[in-house]
Amino acid sequence: MRPAKIEYRRPSSVAEAVQMLASSGGKALAGGHSLIPAMNLRLSEPGTVIDIGRLNELRGISVKGNILSIGALTTHAEIAASADVRTHCPALAAACGQVGDPQVRNWGTLGGNLAHADPASDPPTVVLACGGILHVQGPSGVRTVRADDFFVDLFTVDLQPGELITSIELPSLRGYKSAYAKMPHPASRYAVVGVCVAMEVEGSRCKQARVAVGGATSKATRATRAEAALTGSTLDEAALDKAASAIMDDVGDGGMGDIYADASYRRAMAGAYLKRAVRAALA
């Protein structure tokens, strides 16, 4: 199919982009790897497309103190290759390195990925588990949204009309153990199940843990039961078995399924990939 007729506009600044989005009710185009396929299938008919892809003020990676900041238009490939990201949030570097194929990684952006919020995509799960904060600009000004509050439901996020993600901040996990493990679909490379863990480990004991799961649920989801099971444990096999059972409870009976992997299989794989993520983090 071909997309419906659109008006194409290209702003020269974030402020102009916000004004164009607010006045037209259109869609922002960043890397285009989510929006354009949806338009070709006429699942999305925005009327007006606002091309923000050349707004260099939305690009870049920096570290200030204990905060890793990533511009919304930074590509997956840039994040995967960044020494700063690999140092301060290695799970995100690993996840972005597994997104799609090289063409997607070189064009797709972190901000566009998070705004689209595909439940089987990799970065939302990691940003959620690692305590990310999203900076947003819209007609009413700027605001910050915690990742815990940003992902609302299937392809639904806390972005108001006319708002854009401008940057993503992550606390440095340099002293933590973190990792992302996923079961990739053999054709699309989307996560059938993906699990991210971020743990503060002292000696052989886990002092605190954050866990998120994607692919098995309608949105990237905090696995609070699994977090509780890991916290205070020595991360031995018995503890991992308990945490695997807990994350299956976090997914529950309302998980997603399709003709490739039904909900019960994804639920079981959430437990298996939690164990893989913990072992990878400890390694």
pLDDT at 45: 87
Taking a C-beta distance cutoff of 8 angstroms, is the pair 99, 108 a contact? yes
Report all structural domains of the chain as residue ranges with CATH numbers, in order of start. 7-51 (3.30.43.10), 56-171 (3.30.465.10), 177-282 (3.30.390.50)
Is the torsion defined by CA of 135, 137, 141, 147 positive or negative? negative
Taking a C-beta distance cutoff of 8 angstroms, is the pair 220, 122 a contact? no
Taking a C-beta distance cutoff of 8 angstroms, is the pair 180, 194 a contact? yes
Taking a C-beta distance cutoff of 8 angstroms, is the pair 247, 148 a contact? no
d(CA 62, CA 282): 26
Q: What share of the chain in percent tops pLDDT 90?
A: 89
Spacing of C-alpha 243 from chain mean position = 22
Taking a C-beta distance cutoff of 8 angstroms, is the pair 167, 135 a contact? yes
Burial 19-38 (b: 16+ CB within 10 A, else e): ebbbebebbbbbbbbbbeeb
pLDDT at 221: 97
pLDDT at 1: 67
Using pLDDT thresholds of 50, 70 and 90, give the confidence band for residue 3.
confident
DSSP H or E run through 90: helix 90-96
The alpha carbon torsion through 255, 256, 258, 262 (nearest 10 deg) reads: -20
For the segment 165-187, the average pLDDT, to the nearest whole number, is 97
Residue with tokens 């506009």: 9
Residue with tokens 């915690």: 146
Q: Is residue 84 classed exposed, middle or buried when 0-12, 13-18 and 19+ CB atoms within 10 A define those classes? A: middle
**Predicted TM-score (pTM) of this structure:** 0.95
Using pLDDT thresholds of 50, 70 and 90, give the confidence band for residue 71.
very high
pLDDT at 127: 98
d(CA 155, CA 144): 20
The predicted-structure confidence for 23-44, as pLDDT tens digits, reads as follows 999 999 998 888 888 888 888 8
The predicted-structure confidence for 209-266, as pLDDT tens digits, reads as follows 999 999 999 999 999 999 999 999 999 999 999 999 999 999 998 789 999 999 999 9
User: Judging by DSSP bridges, how do beta strands 141-146 and 177-184 pair with one another?
Assistant: unpaired
CA-to-CA dists, residue 200 to 28, 124, 128, 273, 282, angstroms: 38, 21, 16, 19, 11
Question: Which tokens go with 30?
Answer: 């960043």
Neighbours of 82 (CB within 10 A): 20
Q: What share of the chain in percent tops pLDDT 70?
A: 100
pLDDT at 180: 98
The predicted-structure confidence for 72-106, as pLDDT tens digits, reads as follows 999 999 999 999 999 999 999 999 999 999 999 99
pLDDT at 43: 85
The predicted-structure confidence for 118-164, as pLDDT tens digits, reads as follows 999 999 999 999 999 999 999 999 999 999 999 999 999 999 999 99
pLDDT at 255: 86
Q: Where are the alpha helices (DSSP H) in 108-209?
A: 110-116, 123-129, 147-150
